[in-house]
Amino acid sequence: MISYKGPNFSSLVINENILKQNNLNNFLNFLKSHVGTFIEIFIIISVIIVSMKIIEFLDKKIRENILIKHENSARLLSFCPILTKAAKVLVLFVIAASVMQAHGYSMTSLIAGFGIIGMAVSFAAKESIANIFGSLAILYDKVFDLGDYVIIDNVEGTVIDINLRSTKIRTLDNSVIVLPNNVVANSMITNISAIKNRRIDEVIGITYDTPNEKIEKAIEILKVIIRENDEVETDDTLIYLEKLNSSSIDIHLQAYVKYGDLANYRRVKENVILEIIRKFRAEDISFAFPSRSIYITHEN
């Protein structure tokens, strides 16, 4: 009689437990042998995350500062993504170089290679880089804005465009001049539109045959005209008898119009001059004009 014995389940369970124990031991040994590597990876990832968060925080603060302090914030904000990406790339490069250097890889040749490449790129694109920094200086310092009337060296006109590379100016003859921003940033700039009060500076000449009392009357008329004009500042007004010129007695008028734009300045100045003409003629005070007296004598 043949008897059949089934599988020994107890031995199978023991073998499975031993296998699991061996796998666990192998895993623990792997962790022990590579714990330094895991810690290093964790530190590197943490440094990268913290660095990116710091860059993003600074980017946010810079944007808020630009929005608060600068009217031309839209154009300045367009530079922020470029600078933020450049900062992140630079941080990642420094971290990668530091890790490789720590593991025995010589970074001298690699950095030297990047340096040579960087120098070549900078020489090739130095004008473009200079223009970018020039446009940043123009926008951040608020030297001028779109629509301003400016004089840049010998170029005079209205600013119609400011971009990363250049500034476009429409001149009085309606032509458009394109100036590189690095040239603009290094030039002497006069922003006429930034003038708050424009000055009327006129010399009124009256004839030498004007009686003394009418000379004094002429000065008083000028003071009254300025005082009664609501569009002219009265605090800094100067009206005085300046000098005895070759063919006239000169009275100097200096006053400031309450407007900075050219159109209103010309309008107010015209009104002041017309009022001077009307009142001088009403008082029979004659304006002088260039003249020369010639004396002819006879010896006989």
In a domain, 5, yes or no: no
The pLDDT value given to residue 131: 61
pLDDT above 80 (res 167) = yes
Q: SS3 sequence, the chain?
A: CCCCCCCCHHHHHHHHHHHHHHHHHHHHHHHHHHHHHHHHHHHHHHHHHHHHHHHHHHHHHHHHHHHHHCCCHHHHHCCHHHHHHHHHHHHHHHHHHHHHHHCCCCCHHHHHHHHHHHHHHHHHCHHHHHHHHHHHHHHHCCCCCCCCEEEECCEEEEEEEECCCEEEEEECCCCEEEEEHHHHHCCCEEEHHHCCCCEEEEEEEECCCCCHHHHHHHHHHHHHHHHHCCCEEEEEEEEEEEEECCCCEEEEEEEEECCCCHHHHHHHHHHHHHHHHHHHHHCCCCECCCCCCCCCCCCC
Say if pTM beats, i.e. exceeds, 0.75: no
- What is the count of structural domains for the chain? 3
Mean pLDDT of all residues belonging to the chain: 78
The CATH number that applies at residue 228 is 3.30.70.100
Least confident of 22-36, 111-125, 184-198, 220-234: 111-125
Domain match, 172 and 203 both: no
The pLDDT value given to residue 163: 75
Domain match, 189 and 204 both: no
Q: Which domain holds residue 187?
A: 143-194
In a domain, 268, yes or no: yes
For residues 43 and 225, which has the higher predicted lDDT (pLDDT)? 225
What confidence tens digit (pLDDT) does each residue in 20-64 have? 666 666 666 655 666 667 777 788 888 888 888 888 888 788 777
Domain match, 47 and 96 both: yes
Range of 44-53, 179-188, 237-246 with top mean pLDDT: 237-246
The pLDDT value given to residue 281: 94
The pLDDT value given to residue 225: 94
Decide which of 124, 152, 171 is a domain's last residue: 124
The CATH number that applies at residue 190 is 2.30.30.60
The pLDDT value given to residue 90: 79
What confidence tens digit (pLDDT) does each residue in 54-103 have? 888 887 887 777 676 655 555 556 566 767 777 887 788 777 777 777 76
